[in-house]
């Protein structure tokens, strides 16, 4: 695992240390080896966390002729298979690293090589003779890659901070990215929170050739449901999981498994235990004394597979403020997903013991694991009730006492009713997010941002022919999975120089899941039906029967308690006004409504808190808005929250 950075300089000459500074900003991603390579047109940098071939594979890596160079971040799980094929075609290798295999694959197959790579990666190739730079990102967006065009030149990096090292790049907030962030808790690709900087889309390549840029997709997801017997589907999934986990276990350094006690991580642990001759290490985060504490479940799984188990108790008495401050640096862009904090501590706990960890990310988005999918199916009859009656019910719910539970019944009921007033695609995004469109009109001091529904309109035309569940899964796999779940996992783990691998996201499993009919994913009130059927005789019964818990913090409670001082010190009226982006009275009202327990706005305020800490840490400019909006809505006391 590594970090990469680089830039072209067709019409200018960088100072000597520019590429070294850009690469060094990523040293947490690769503390074991750092290197740079430069020519008259391009500068490449790489930092390396050694996982495969500890004695070889240093980067950037040159071809035998010196004409081609690679900077690589990720793992290629079929590198041994590809090496044999390339050797049969006359290629000679000097290491056993997957980086060298990727370099030779590019030399042999050019852009077609990406279809052959099975793994997670962000990669840059330079060909001196063709004055050509090629970038690519893995199919599911497990590894990040940021890009910025400036005139005829191109800048790129594994993290935003590598691009922000360039003093000529202005750090100005992107209003479109901000509007999406407030609604979704993340910034969807290709947007970021910095004007002019974007993300290369998963499954895509980009070519810079002497100042001109072209892009294309080498892979795209196609939902094509087809019926097959349940027994056959279970057999197919069993084979795919065995193969994927076996490949994900390949490592020359210590390896472990993240264990939450849920079916996803427990499934990975089951197949890893089958494939590994050694005793596995498992790692978990607990919330002692909380109703959502998962420790009974992950302890039962650890006992069942006799793992070397490690736990971290996360509670408000920990040094949370210090950790949140670190998030502002390592998050790159702020993550309003409150699960970032537990993942931070989980990664920190892991690193002294292992360098690689397997996780269960992706199963929910592939096989239908979120309660929002049930909400999507249940809301149909409710939409037949006149809208004015639903709005009246929402108004009445303002009188319901709020709870400090992480996601309480009253909170879910209010969100469910508010979502019933929206179109299906917009409702699905709203249920996973925080600020509604009405909230943003009240909160933001500017207009002109796209509505949230614009995301779903960007789906391929054939998505319109699918059922609702397939469209929601497609949306989540395109946006929520790479830009929230995988983003959070990458930043928090790499901050501690830990590589996390998600076996569910082998593209063969992704394509298999897309071929399943919806009744094999969500059947009645049963989520992840096929996966649970497969694991029924493999995992402890309690794991299959338990209700799903989100892996995040009790934001409602903590922002009224231990994190209240940080909240009030950060979101001051003066700080809000200085941004020119928000109405200070709207932020003040949100804080007051939450602290007075008139509504649960913990997740809303968490997103604002980490945003303001991030802007302060990175010196992001927030110019005066085009116009000030007025407060025409009911504000945050309304039951739309």
Quote the CA–CA distance of 292 and 85 in Å, as a whole number. 50
| Best CATH choice for the domain 2-217 from the list 3.40.50.300, 3.60.20.10, 3.30.530.20, 3.30.70.2860 | 3.60.20.10
Q: 105 is written with which tokens?
A: 């694959």
Q: Give the pLDDT mean for 40-45.
A: 97
| Residue 609 DSSP class | H
Predicted local distance difference test score (pLDDT) of residue 640: 43
pLDDT, tens digit, for every residue of 440-455? 999 999 988 888 878 8
* Cα distance between residue 31 and residue 29, in whole Å: 6
Contact call for residues 428 and 475 (beta carbons, < 8 A): yes
Give the mean pLDDT of the chain: 91
What's the whole-model pTM score? 0.94
Q: Measuring CA to CA, how many Å separate 47 from each of 44, 75, 76, 358?
A: 11, 14, 17, 22
The closest alpha carbon to 429, from 181, 243, 89, belongs to 181
Give the pLDDT mean for 556-565. Answer: 91
Reported as type and span, the H/E element at residue 263 is: helix 263-275
The full 3-state SS of 104-148, as one line of letters, equals: HHHHHHHHHHHHHCCEEEEEEEEECCCCEEEEEECCCCCCCCEEE
pLDDT at 627 over 60: no
pLDDT in tens, 260-274: 989 999 999 999 999
Domain ranges of the chain: 2-217, 371-466+553-618
Residue 112 buriedness (CB in 10 A; 0-12 / 13-18 / 19+): exposed
13 or 411, higher pLDDT: 13
CB neighbourhood size of 152 (10 A): 15
Q: Which residues pair with 274 in a beta bridge?
A: none
Q: Give the per-residue pLDDT at 641.
A: 41
The residue among 462 and 364 whose pLDDT is bigger is: 364
Whether 217 shows a pLDDT value over 70: the answer reads yes
Query: Of 16-20, 122-126, 182-186, 338-342, which gets the smallest average pLDDT?
Result: 338-342
The reported pLDDT for the residue numbered 553 is 76
Q: What is the pLDDT, as a whole number, of residue 414?
A: 83
Query: How distant is the alpha carbon of residue 21 from its chain centre?
Result: 26
Confidence check: pLDDT of 638 > 50: no
C-alpha dihedral sign at 49, 120, 607, 447: positive
Residue 426, pLDDT score:
86
- Dihedral of CA 540/542/546/548: which sign? negative
**Mean pLDDT, range 89-113, rounded to an integer:** 97
| Interval 288-315 mean pLDDT | 85
Omega within 30 of 0 (cis) for the link into 60: yes
CA 300/CA 320 separation, integer angstroms: 28
Which of these, 336, 325, 343, 329, lies nearest to 160 by C-alpha position?
329
Query: For the residues 540-546, what does the mean pLDDT come to?
Result: 88
Q: Could you report the per-residue pLDDT of 22-33, keeping only the tens digit for each?
A: 999 999 999 999
Q: pLDDT tens across 335-388, in order? A: 888 889 889 999 999 999 999 999 999 999 999 999 999 988 888 888 989 988
Kindly report, residue by residue over 145-154, the tens digit of the pLDDT: 999 999 999 9
């Amino acid at each position: 695992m590594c970090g990469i950075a680089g830039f072209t300089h067709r019409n200018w000459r960088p100072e000597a240390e520019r590429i070294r500074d850009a690469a060094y900003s990523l040293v947490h991603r690769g503390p074991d080896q750092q290197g740079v390579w430069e020519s008259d047109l391009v500068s490449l940098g790489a930092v390396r966390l050694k996982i495969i071939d500890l004695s070889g594979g240093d980067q950037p890596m040159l071809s035998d002729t010196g004409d081609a160079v690679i900077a690589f971040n990720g793992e290629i799980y079929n590198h041994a298979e590809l090496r044999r094929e390339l050797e049969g075609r006359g290629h000679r290798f000097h290491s056993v690293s997957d980086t060298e295999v990727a370099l030779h694959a590019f030399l042999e197959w050019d852009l077609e090589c990406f279809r052959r790579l099975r793994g997670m990666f962000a990669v840059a190739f330079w060909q001196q003779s063709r004055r050509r730079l090629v970038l690519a990102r893995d199919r599911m967006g497990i590894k990040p890659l940021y890009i910025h065009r400036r005139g005829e030149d191109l800048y790129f990096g594994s993290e935003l901070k590598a691009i922000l090292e360039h003093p000529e790049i202005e750090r100005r907030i992107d209003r479109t990215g901000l509007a999406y962030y407030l609604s979704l808790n993340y910034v969807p690709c290709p947007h970021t929170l910095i004007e002019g900087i974007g993300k290369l889309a998963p499954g895509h390549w980009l070519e810079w050739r002497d100042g001109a840029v072209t892009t294309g997709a080498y892979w795209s997801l196609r939902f094509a449901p087809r019926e097959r017997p349940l027994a056959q589907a279970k057999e197919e999934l069993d084979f795919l999981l065995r193969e994927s986990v076996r490949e994900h276990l390949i490592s020359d350094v210590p390896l472990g498994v993240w264990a939450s006690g849920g079916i996803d991580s427990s499934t990975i642990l089951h197949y890893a235990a089958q494939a590994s001759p050694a005793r596995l290490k498992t790692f978990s985060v607990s919330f002692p004394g909380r109703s959502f504490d998962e420790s009974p479940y992950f302890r039962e799984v650890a006992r069942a597979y006799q793992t070397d188990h490690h736990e971290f108790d996360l509670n408000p008495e920990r040094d949370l403020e210090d950790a949140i401050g670190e998030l502002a640096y390592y998050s790159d862009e702020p993550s309003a997903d409150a699960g970032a904090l537990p993942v931070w501590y989980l990664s920190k706990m892991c690193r002294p013991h292992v360098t690689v960890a397997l996780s269960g990310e992706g199963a929910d988005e592939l096989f239908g694991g979120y309660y929002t999918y049930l909400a999507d199916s249940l809301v149909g009859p409710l939409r037949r009730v006149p809208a004015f009656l639903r709005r009246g019910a929402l108004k009445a719910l303002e009188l319901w006492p709020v709870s400090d539970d992480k996601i309480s019944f009253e909170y879910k009921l209010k969100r469910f009713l508010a979502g019933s007033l929206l179109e299906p695609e917009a409702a699905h995004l709203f249920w996973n997010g925080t600020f509604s469109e009405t909230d943003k009109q009240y909160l933001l001091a500017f207009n002109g941002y796209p509505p949230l529904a614009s995301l779903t309109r960007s789906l391929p035309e054939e998505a319109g022919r699918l059922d609702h569940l397939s469209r929601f899964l497609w949306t989540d796999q395109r946006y929520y999975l790479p830009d929230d779940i995988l983003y959070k996992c990458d930043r928090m783990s790499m901050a501690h120089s830990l590589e996390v691998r998600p076996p569910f996201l082998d593209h063969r499993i992704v394509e298999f899941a897309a071929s399943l009919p919806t009744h094999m994913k969500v059947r009645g009130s049963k989520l992840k039906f096929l996966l649970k059927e497969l694991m029924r005789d493999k995992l402890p019964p309690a794991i299959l029967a338990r209700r799903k818990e989100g892996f995040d913090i009790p934001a409602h409670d903590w922002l009224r308690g231990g994190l209240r001082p940080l909240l009030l010190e950060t979101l001051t009226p003066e700080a809000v006004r200085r941004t020119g982006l928000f109405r200070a009275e709207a932020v003040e009202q949100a804080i007051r409504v939450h602290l007075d327990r008139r509504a649960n706005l913990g997740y809303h305020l968490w997103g604002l808190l980490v945003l303001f800490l991030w802007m302060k840490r990175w010196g992001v400019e927030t110019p005066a808005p085009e116009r000030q909006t007025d407060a025409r809505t009911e504000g945050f006391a309304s039951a739309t929250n």
